[in-house]
Amino acid sequence: MPAVQNSPIESVPEFEFIDINGQKHHIRDYKGKVMLIHFWATWCAPCVVEFPKIIHLASDRPEIVVIALSSDISDEKILRFLEKNPERSSRFIVARDVKREITEGLFQTFKLPETFVISPSGLIVKKMVGDIDWDSKEIDNLLSSLKK
């Protein structure tokens, strides 16, 4: 069963990344939005199951930005995987975490999938481990409570 954990309230660490299309992003670019920082990989079976669900969530909630950071070793594997999940909004950003510096270094994430829910003010409010039911009432209540 997936774990939904309260996270000690702390600010999201500063970091930047380059998305799968070569565009540079900084986490502070999304301050003021509810963010889901989602750690995943194409070789992770629960990640593959969860991925369409989190895409659907992002498409239904314009106040959310999903930053999906993959632990794959090549962009090609990610691009092939994304061809099977083409219905992503512009608020669903996919990037490869080169050398897992963000995944392991900043967020201490070693199990996949794992998602951090970030408030519009930049605070980490939840850490979720495993294949989450993104359509659940609990998730709906959490995300609705974070809207400005």
By C-alpha distance, which of 47, 45, 16 is closest to 29? 16
Number of H helices, E strands in the chain: 3, 8
Residues contacting 3, CB < 8 A, separation 6+: 128, 129, 130
Give the whole-angstrom CA distance, residue 89 versus residue 109: 25
This prediction has a pTM of 0.90
Give pLDDT, residue 3. 46
Instruction: Please tell me the total count of domains within the chain.
Output: 1
Asked if residues 63 and 34 have their Cβ atoms less than 8 Å apart, the reply is: yes
Residue 122: domain span: 3-145
Residue at token pair 């990640």: 47
The CATH number covering residue 72 comes to 3.40.30.10
Give pLDDT, residue 87. 75
Give the whole-angstrom CA distance, residue 69 versus residue 93: 8
CA distances in angstroms from 13 to 116, 121, 123, 133, listed in the order given = 12, 13, 9, 26
Give pLDDT, residue 114. 97
Give pLDDT, residue 84. 85
Count of Cβ atoms closer than 10 Å to residue 13 Cβ: 13
pLDDT, tens digit (0-9, with 9 covering 90-100), for 86-123: 777 788 999 999 889 999 999 999 899 999 999 999 99
Give the whole-angstrom CA distance, residue 48 versus residue 45: 5
Give pLDDT, residue 10. 87
For the chain, 148 residues long, give each residue's pLDDT as a single digit of tens. Answer: 344 445 455 899 999 999 999 999 999 999 999 999 999 999 999 999 999 999 999 988 989 999 999 999 999 999 999 998 777 778 899 999 988 999 999 999 989 999 999 999 999 999 999 999 999 999 999 999 997 6
Query: Which one-letter amino acid corresponds to residue 113?
Result: P
